[in-house]
Amino acid sequence: MKLHELLFHLHQPSPMPDGNPEIMSVEDNHSKVQAGSLFICIKGLSVDGHDLAAEAVKNGAAAIVAQKELDVPVPVYIVRDTSRAKAILADAFYGHPSHGIHLTGITGTNGKTTTSHLIERIFADAGNKTGLIGTMYTKVGDKKYEVKNTTPESLTLQRTFKLMADEGVTHAVMEVSSHALDYGRVHGTDFNVAVFTNLTQDHLDYHKTMDRYRQAKSLLFSQLGNAYSDASPKFAVLNADDPATEEFIRVTAALILTYGIDEKADIMAKNISLSPQGTTFTLEISGKNYPVSMKQVGKFNVYNALAAIGAAVASGIKPELAISSLERIEGVAGRFETVDAGQDFTIIVDYAHTPDSLENVLKTIREFAKKDVYVLAGCGGDRDKAKRPLMARIACDYATHPVFTSDNPRSEVPDAILRDMEEGVKGRYYKVIPDRKDAIEFAVGSAKAGDVILIAGKGHETYQEIKGVRYDFDDRVCAKEAVSRLAKGNKKSN
């Protein structure tokens, strides 16, 4: 594609630059630039891409998009915001790949990964080739790719859509984080259905206030487009029990489908019955009732199931089909995942790393637990500090044995994070064991028959990030090893 043809998509009044080379690729990282690349300079938190423009030209860049004049021997096109331009150019360069895919975006504080897996499974069972983009991986058909972010930056995102389109994916589901919405990573992406799970405290390090956090989430709905501007109508699938839905209804021009348990909604769950083995409820939709029996545990998973059914129905799939898929799903890795190494107590690994998710999971466990409940809880470094004392309080409120330990300390000192947690539980009973492996061994070594251990915060993660280095660490593996060691020790002493 010629440079001018590509830049035309920005619809800027400024004239095209002199020189119109053929653009072979679009890059925002100077080290990936090759002969014929268009290099887009992004001013990041740690690096300013403008400072790397000359290096990019040395690597073969044929043209540059920047926010300021640069002294380089190739055409430079100035835009107000290169991140925004990057998203629009990426969409154009790859031929608007999301426009040919039925795309469902999911936003909300908790439940995005879980719900996206439920929706993907429903689409796949309905006979579609599917794609998925989210916290754990990107999936194109059956092939999985590693990811750095829950919602990738725009070039990676549009490249992924192009790959999906080339591979014949017709239905894709993606998590849309509030960071991504705020950074404009999804500009140029054509969603057919946008789903909202819930809004509770997280990411205040970035958004500062809950109002601004909610406003970032609302972008998914305000940018969704008009209900009838395309061949198939756009749908917003919203949680009627969450107060933020009121704002999303106000800002969207799409059709609306609501779901919920308490407030009146288009899709409702009634007669909910919870057990440690699974959940049953009656689904009420369009005046009809359907019995549902699923393996997912906890009331919060009823919300995830309703959101998934909403997305399916908005995509033209019959409720019966969606329900039969839901009933067959085993679970999502690291979400209420039980670890069974032959021990006589229960170990649950769960990705709860927000106050609301921790409370939901612990409430669920308390409903079924007959004996003691251990919780291992920690808080990520370089993330919302305000949630630390809240999570500690929740751990103490619901567990008989709260243990505070390290999550991913990132650049922070683990003890400082733990002290922030302790601020929320002055005078309460708890234990602090900074090393996560030691904490897991302590809980495994202390638990008696019938007790429950919840290892919260890291779920599917297979690393622990300390001072910029990701060390191998998997709660599930660590717990299994602790149980085996304990069993061996017991045998020896017998």
Residue 154 near ligand UAG by CB under 6 A: no
Q: Is 159 annotated as a binding residue?
A: no
Quick check: 81 and 65 in contact, CB under 8 A?
A: no
441 labeled part of a ligand binding site = no
Contact indicator for 218, 399 with CB cutoff of 8 Å: no
Single out the residue of 316, 248, 290 nearest to residue 306, CA to CA.
Answer: 290
Nearest CB to ligand API, comparing residues 359 and 461? 461
Contacting ligand UAG (CB under 6 A), which of 11, 13, 18, 45?
Answer: 45
> H helices within 241-288, ranges in order?
245-251
Which residues lie closer than 8 Å to 297 by C-beta, 6 or more apart? 274, 275, 276, 277, 278, 279, 336, 364
Instruction: Choose the contact partner of 407 out of Mg ion, ligand API, ligand ATP, none; CB within 5 to 8 A by kind.
Output: ligand API
Mark the segment that binds ligand ATP (CB under 6 A) among 245-253, 255-263, 351-359, 424-432: 351-359
Instruction: Give SS3 for 221.
Output: helix
Instruction: Calculate the dihedral angle through the C-alpha atoms of 199, 201, 203, 206, rounding to the nearest 10 degrees.
Output: 90
Site for ligand ATP in 186-215 (CB under 6 A): 197-198
| Residue 105 binding partner per list ligand UAG, ligand API, ligand ATP, none, with a CB distance cut-off of 5 to 8 Å that depends on partner kind | none
Distance in angstroms (rounded) separating the CA atoms of residues 259 and 313? 12
Q: Which stretch binds ligand API (CB under 6 A): 58-66, 92-100, 191-199, 454-462?
A: 454-462
| Least distance from Mg ion to the Cβ atom of residue 361, Å | 15
Binding of ligand ATP by 356 (CB under 6 A):
yes
Print the binding letters for residues 106-125 with Mg ion: x by CB under 5 A, - otherwise.
------xx------------
Instruction: Identify the CA nearest to 125 among candidates 295, 321, 315.
Output: 321
Would you say 111 is a known binding-site residue? Answer: yes
Residue ranges in 105-144 that form contacts with ligand UAG under rule CB under 6 A? 135
The H or E element containing residue 268 is: strand 267-275
Choosing from 120, 125, 153, 359, the residue that interacts with ligand UAG (CB under 6 A) is: 153
Query: Cβ(186)–Cβ(369) under 8 Å?
Result: no
Q: Please tell me whether residue 114 binds ligand API under the rule CB under 6 A.
A: no
Which letter does DSSP use for residue 316 in this model?
Answer: T
Shorter beta-carbon distance to Mg ion: residue 26 or 332: 332
Residue type (1 letter), 427: G
Q: In angstroms, rounded to a whole number, what is the distance separating the alpha carbons of residues 193 and 122?
A: 14
Cα separations (Å) of 207 from 135, 187, 417? 20, 19, 20
Sign for the CA dihedral angle at 45, 380, 149, 112 comes to negative
Residues 103-132 interacting with ligand ATP (rule: CB under 6 A): 108, 110-114
Residue range at the interface with ligand API (CB under 6 A); choices 74-82, 108-116, 193-201, 457-465: 457-465
State the Cα–Cα distance between residues 348 and 413, nearest whole angstrom: 27
Binding window for Mg ion (CB under 5 A); candidates: 50-58, 167-175, 251-259, 465-473: 167-175
**In 399-472, which ranges are continuous DSSP H helix?**
414-422, 436-446
In the three-class reduction of DSSP (H, G, I as helix; E, B as strand; rest coil), residue 37 is classed as: strand
The CA-based angle 422-300-374, given to 5 degrees, is 40
Which of 97, 334, 355, 380 binds ligand API (CB under 6 A)? It is 380
Q: Other C-beta atoms within 10 Å of 88: how many?
A: 20
Applying CB under 6 A, which part among 47-55, 190-198, 236-244, 261-269 lies near ligand UAG?
A: 47-55
Cα separation, 369 vs 456, whole angstroms:
17
Taking the C-alpha atoms of residue 411 and residue 274, their distance in angstroms, rounded to an integer, is 40
Tell me the two tokens of residue 292: 């549902």
Binding mask 402-441 for ligand ATP (x = CB under 6 A): ----------------------------------------
What is the C-alpha separation between 155 and 278, in angstroms, rounded? 40
160 is in an annotated binding site: no
299-328: which residues touch ligand ATP (CB under 6 A)? Answer: 300, 303-304
Radius of gyration of the chain measured on its C-alpha atoms: 24
Comparing CA positions, the residue from 320, 301, 310 lying closest to residue 265 is: 310
Of residues 37, 82, 83, 135, which one binds ligand ATP by CB under 6 A?
135
Please say which residue, 138 or 198, places its beta carbon nearer to ligand ATP.
198
Q: Of 87 and 311, which has the nearer Cβ to ligand UAG?
A: 87
Q: Note whether 178 binds ligand ATP by CB under 6 A.
A: no
Q: Which residues bind ligand API (CB under 6 A)?
A: 150, 353, 380, 383, 407-408, 457-458, 461
Annotated binding site for meso-2,6-diaminopimelate: 383, 407-410, 457, 461
Q: Which residues bind Mg ion (CB under 5 A)?
A: 112-113, 135, 175
Q: Which residues bind ligand ATP (CB under 6 A)?
A: 108, 110-114, 135, 150, 175, 197-198, 300, 303-304, 335, 350-352, 356-357, 360-361, 459
Q: Which residues bind ligand UAG (CB under 6 A)?
A: 28-31, 42, 44-47, 49, 52, 135, 148-151, 153, 177, 179-180
Annotated binding site: 108-114, 149-151, 177, 185, 383, 407-410, 457, 461
